[in-house]
Amino acid sequence: MTSCLESILANDYPKERMEILVLDGMSEDRTQEIVQEYARRDARVRLVDNPKKHIPVAMNIGIREAHGERILKMDAHSTYQPEYISRCVHYQDVYGAENVGGVWKMVPGADTAMVLGQTVRGGRRAGMLTSLGVASALVVHATLSSLGLSAILARSATAFTVVKLAGAAYLVSLGFRTLWSTRRRGAEAVAAEPSPKGPERGIAPYRRGVMSNLLNPKVAVFFYAFLPQFIDRGGAVLPQTFVLAAIFIAMGLTWLTILVVAASRAMSVLRKPAARRVMERVTGSVLVGFGVRLATAAR
């Protein structure tokens, strides 16, 4: 929330023509405290409660409470470039569009690190199994979202924290295991090529992909907060949810597949044991870093 508000306040759009309404679904973390502090420092910021805790309701409340001639919906889990608002206004004026928006810049996260690490350790097969595990976990998230169960994580600070810490512990443990295995084997013990008899045989990489994604509560919250905006409430909700989720999963699986192919080809170049050990240590350290970041993240 802090990063989001800072980025909005830093926008170059005329300050006197902008108000910032934060629609909060009765958060149990520090969200309200943070927004109220900003409101005391800047009169443009205002906290508005959303007792029903649903995004469509929040949209209606925001429209009712807003005083400007334009309404710009912004996500609290994102940050925005300094010219984002002014560009949106400019393009709406130029093209006369009813609705305009910007481009998302997605930052690789724990799934990318997990797939990359498994590819380095076990080759293309391990990387693809991990990718399929991530995709399988996304199917579970989509199902829970369609059934409304993801709302528990979105609304309950306790549930969110429990899942978050479990996921963080899992990532940190995998990272430390990777670091320890490279230290224990030593440079001479790192095989030049992945072996089917090595530690990555069977479905272990698939299981790791499932667990790392399934124990990330931010993925569940994403499905709960993002997909409903594109669902026609007059139609069948479940099929629409799965179609949208399938598109998202297909995009993610495509990216992970490209990553696996590229990493496996790069490993054919980095045949030296020392080079592979460095790669494994880097991915292990990244997994630990993502685990710590997840553990300290707010809802």
Say if residue 6 is in the same domain as residue 148.
Answer: no
Instruction: For residues 246-259, give the mean pLDDT.
Output: 90
199, 122 Cβ separation under 8 angstroms: yes
Instruction: For residues 101-121, give the mean pLDDT.
Output: 77
Q: How confident is the model at residue 250 (pLDDT cuts 50, 70, 90)?
A: very high
Q: Tell me, letter by letter, the H, E, C secondary structure of 48-117.
A: EECCCCCHHHHHHHHHHHCCCCCCCCCCCCCCCCCCHHHHHHHHHHHHCCCCCCCCCCCCCCHHHHHHHH
Length, in residues, of the chain: 299
193 pLDDT exceeds 70? no
Domain count across the chain: 2
Percent of the chain with pLDDT over 90: 22
Tell me: the pLDDT tens digits for 10-59?
999 998 899 999 998 887 778 888 999 999 999 999 999 988 877 778 88
Instruction: For residues 121-125, give the mean pLDDT.
Output: 84
Tell me: the pLDDT tens digits for 78-90?
889 999 999 999 9
Say if residue 182 is in the same domain as residue 221.
Answer: yes
Say if residue 31 is in the same domain as residue 68.
Answer: yes
**Location of structure tokens 């179609």:** 243
183 pLDDT exceeds 70? no
Question: How far, CA to CA in Å, does 293 sit from each of 112, 133, 171?
Answer: 15, 22, 10
Whole-model pTM above 0.85? Answer: no
Structural domain boundaries enclosing 76? 2-95
Mean pLDDT taken over the chain = 78
Q: Which of 56, 71, 95 is the last residue of a domain?
A: 95
Alpha-helical (H) ranges within the chain are 2-9, 31-41, 55-65, 84-95, 110-146, 150-155, 157-185, 204-214, 217-226, 237-269, 273-296
153 belongs to a structural domain:
yes
Say if residue 158 is in the same domain as residue 232.
Answer: yes
Q: What is the pLDDT of residue 120?
A: 79
Q: What is the pLDDT of residue 27?
A: 76
- Choose between 237 and 255: higher pLDDT: 255
